[in-house]
Structure 1
Amino acid sequence: MLSAANVRTAGGAANYFASDNYYTRADADRSGEWFGKGAERQGLEGRVDARLFEAVLKGMLPDGSRVGSDGREHRAGTDLTFSMPKSWSLLALVGGDKRIIDAYAAAVKETLAWAEKNLAETRIEVRGREKIAQTGNLLVALFQHDTNRNQEPNAHIHAVVANVTQGPDGKWRALRNDKLWEHNTLLNAMTMARFRLSVEKLGYEIGETGKHGNFEAAGVPRHVRDAFSSRRAEIVAALEGMNGKGLAARNAANLMTRAAKQTIEDRSALGQQWRNQAARIGFAPAEVIARANGRAAMDIGGVPTLGGFVRDVVEHGRGIAQALAE
C-alpha cells in the first residue's frame, strides 16, 4: 500500500521533524539514505544527517540555494509511505528472511526512479506567463522502519520528497507534486509488480490478491495477519464512522487514531515477543520460508517472462509515461 501526506510548511516541518525525531532518531530501524538525481546534484549521498535533512525541508540547500524565500509559506515536502503487505512483513520480521526487505526496498527505488523521470515538475515563468516544466529530478530521503505505532511487524519505507527540484534553467524551485498524488495508485502497482517478480524468484508462492497490485504470501492465513494487525483494525473502525472513502479518508482515519510513536527499548525482546505470539496461534514462518527455498533451489520460483498481472501494470505505466511526454 502507498499513502501520501504533505508536510506543509517550513515551520510545521521543523515541528514535525522535532516532535519525536521520528525519521532520524537512534532507534529507527535503518539509517536514512539520500536518493534521487536532485540529491546527487546537491552532493547528498549515503546516510541522512538530521540537521541537514531539516534544512532541506525548509528549502535551504547545501549549495546555498534557497527555495521558498519569496515571502510565501513554503511547503516542506511530501511523505510517500510504501507499506509492505502484512504477510510479507511477518515472513521478513518474524521469520527472519531479510531478503524480502531488500526486495521491497529495491522495488520502491525502481518506482521512485520512474516517478522522478516522468512525474517531477516545477512552475517557471516564460514571457510573463507561468508554465509547468518537467524537471526529471527529485531530492528524497528514504527511511526504512519495521513497526507500526502499536509495535507490531510492519515493514514500510518513508520516501520524504523535499519540495525542491532543479528546473531546466538550472535554478532550484519548488516541486509541483500534483502528479505524485494523481498517480499514487499506479506507483503502488508498479512497486508491487516489481516486488512480486523478486519474491517469486525467491521461491515464494502468491496467495490472496487485492486491488492496485497488492498481494499476500501463500502460507500466511488471514487469521495470522489479523492477529498482528490491531493498527489496521483501528483505522478500519474509524473509517466506518466517516462518510468519505479513498486515500483522503484513510489518511484522516490514520491521523485520528494515531498514538504517539513509542521508543523501542529492546528490539531483540520485541522480536521474541512476535515469535512467541506466532507460536501461540500456530504460525510457523520457518516452514513457509523453507518451502520457498526448496522451490527456488529447483528453479520453480523463477519467472522467465512477465505474467499478465505484471505486464498490464508495466504497459499501463508506459502509456502514462508516453502521455506525459506529449
Structure 2
Amino acid sequence: MLTISRALGASQAESYHRSEFTSPEQSYYTKGNVLGEWQGRLAAEWGLVGEVTQQQFVRLANGQHPETGEALVRHRQAFEYKNERGETVRTMEHRAGWDATFSAPKSVSLTALVGGDERVREAHRESVRIAVDELERYVEARIGGNHPAETTGKWAAAKFEHDSARPVDGYSAPQLHTHVVFFNVTKTADGRTRALQPQELYRSQKFATAVYQSELAWRLRRLGYEIDPGKNGAPEIRGYTREYLEASSPRSRQIRQHLEARGLEGAGPAQIAAHRTRDAKARLSPHEMLARHREVAAAYGNQPERVVDEARRRGLEHEPAGRASHAHAAVTWARDRQMEREAVADERDLVRDALRRSMGQTR
C-alpha cells in the first residue's frame, strides 16, 4: 500500500537522507549503503538519471536547482519569536517535499527476501515505478493569490528501496518497501518553477495504491505465484500460514496494540503511532539479523523456500485466458458502484475500483 507523509522540513529531509533513506541498517539484504534512484519528468528535464547524490538531494530539499544551486522557489527560513503570552514560537521552515512509501504485502516480502526470489523484488520495483508515473499525472503547481492550482504533471522524485521494518526489541523483520521523496517544486506551462500544491496527490493516494497492488499481482501471477486478496485489496502470495505471517510482523503488531490501548483506528492515527513507537535503531549486526530471519522461517517449516520452489515448478504463466472479459467485467462493476454514489465519477475512483476488482487478472 501507499502512505504519504506530512510535508518534510528542509532540515528534516536532510536528516532522513543521512540517517534513514541511505542507511545500511534499513536494508540487510543489500550490501553497503542504499543508493537512491531518480524518477519523474522534471528530473529527466534536469538530466537527473540513476543514482541520487547527497548534494542533489540537499539542494532540492532547500528549493534549489540540483546541479547549479540556483533558487527555484522562495525559501523560507525558520525563526523563533515570543508571542503575546511570552511563549517561544518557531515558524515552519521551507517545505522540502513529501515521503510517499510503497510497502509490499508481508507474504511478498518474505518470498522476495527470505525465499530469495529476486524476481519478486523486481516485480515490486517495477510496480512502484508504474504507480509513481501514474501519481505524477496529478502534480499541481501552487500559483498563489486567488488563482487556482495548475496541473503540471511533472516532478522530481528520489526513490530509496529498503528491505527491513523498524526494529521491535532490536529485531527488524523482513519488509520490502520503497520511499519515494517528491520534492516541493514543479514547472508550469510557461516554464516557471513553482511550489507543489499537494491536495490532489493526497486525493490520489488510494488510486496509486490500487495501481501498485494490481501491477504487483499481475507480475506475481506471471511468475507462477498464486494470489489471494488480502487486507485492503493487497495481493498476498498463497502458501503462508497466519501464524508465520504474524511472527514476521512484530512492527504491525506493536502499532496495532498501541492503537487498541487508546481506542484509536484508521490510517491517520496508525501513521502517528508508527512514529511514536519506533525504536531508534536495531541492535543486531546484519549477519545476526539474517540468521534470525532464517530461524523464524525454520520454526514454521521454511515456508518461503517451499512457496518459491512451487512457483518455479509451476513456471511462467502464459497470457491468462479471458483477460478481455475480466477487464470488461471489472470496469462495468466499478462504473455501477461509482454511479450508485455520485452522478459524476472521478476517473481515479473508477480505475481504482476496477483494478481492485480484477486483482491482477488484467492491467
Normalized against structure 2, the TM-score is what? 0.79
In the TM superposition, residue 273 of structure 1 has moved relative to its aligned partner by 2.4
- Taking only the aligned residue pairs, the percentage that are identical comes to 31
Alignment of 1:26-41 (within 5 A): 26=24, 29=27, 30-41=34-45
Is the CA contact (8 Å cut-off) linking 1:202 and 1:301 kept in structure 2? no
2:249 to 210, 229, 241: 229
What amino acid maps onto 1:54 in structure 2? V
User: Which structure would you say has the larger Rg?
Assistant: 2
Once the two structures are TM-superposed, the CA of residue 215 in structure 1 deviates from its matched residue by 2.4
Say yes or no: does 1:305 pair with 2:323. Answer: yes
2:298 corresponding residue in structure 1: 279
- Deviation at 1:170? 0.8
Summarize deviations over 1:265-317 as a string: whole Å, max 9, x none.
43x443232122211122332221121112225x3785662646994599889
Alpha carbons of 1:171 and 1:319: their partners in 2 closer, same or farther (altered >3 Å)? same
* CA distance in 2: counterparts of 1:70 and 1:51, whole angstroms: 20
CA separation of 1:209 and 1:149: change in aligned 2, threshold 3 A: closer
How many angstroms does 1:191 deviate by? Answer: 0.5
For 1:66, the equivalent position in structure 2 comes to: 72
Question: Secondary structure in 2 aligned to 1:207?
Answer: strand
Q: Deviations over 1:163-194 (max 9, x none)?
A: 11111111111111111112212211110001
Greater CA deviation, 50-59 or 84-93? 50-59
**Can you give the 5+ residue segments of structure 1 that lack an aligned partner in the other structure?**
none
Contact 2:5 2:100 in 1 (8 A): yes
> Cα–Cα, structure 1 residues 310 and 285, in superposed 2: closer, same or farther, change >3 Å?
farther
Distance 2:53 2:178 in 1: 17
Change in 2 beyond 3 A, CA 1:15/1:274 = closer
The alpha carbon displacement at 1:105 in A equals 1.0
**Offset of 1:56 from its aligned partner?**
0.9
Q: Does 1:134 align with 2:132?
A: no
Q: Distance in 1 between matches of 2:276 and 2:25?
A: 25
Q: Which amino acid aligns with 1:5?
A: S
User: Is residue 319 of structure 1 aligned with residue 347 of structure 2?
Assistant: yes
CA contact 1:207–1:219 (8 Å) conserved in 2: no
Return the offset for 1:2.
1.5
Q: Distance in 2 between matches of 1:227 and 1:70?
A: 46
- Is 2:179 the counterpart of 1:175? no
Return the alpha-carbon distance in structure 1 between the equivalents of residues 350 and 244 of structure 2.
Answer: 42
1:157 match: 178
Q: How does 1:1-326 map to 2 (within 5 A)?
A: 1-18=1-18, 21-26=19-24, 29=27, 30-62=34-66, 63=68, 64-69=70-75, 73-117=93-137, 119-124=138-143, 129-150=146-167, 151-211=172-232, 213-262=233-282, 265-266=285-286, 268-297=287-316, 299=317, 302=320, 305=323, 307=326, 311-312=330-331, 319-320=347-348
Indicate the SS of the match to 1:59. coil
Give aligned pairs, total.
315
Deviation of 1:318 (Å): 8.1
Structure 1 distance, partners of 2:60, 2:178, is 19
Distance 2:10 2:39 in 1: 21
Q: Which residue type is aligned with residue 23 of structure 1?
A: F
Residue type matched to 1:196 in 2?
Answer: A
Q: Which runs of 5+ in 2 are unaligned?
A: 28-33, 78-91, 339-344, 352-363
RMSD between aligned alpha carbons? 2.8
Cα distance in structure 1, aligned partners of 2:228 and 2:349: 30
Aligned-pair distance for 1:16?
Answer: 3.9
**Contact 1:27/1:264 (8 A) holds in 2:** no
Q: Which runs of 4+ in 1 moved over 6 A?
A: 313-318
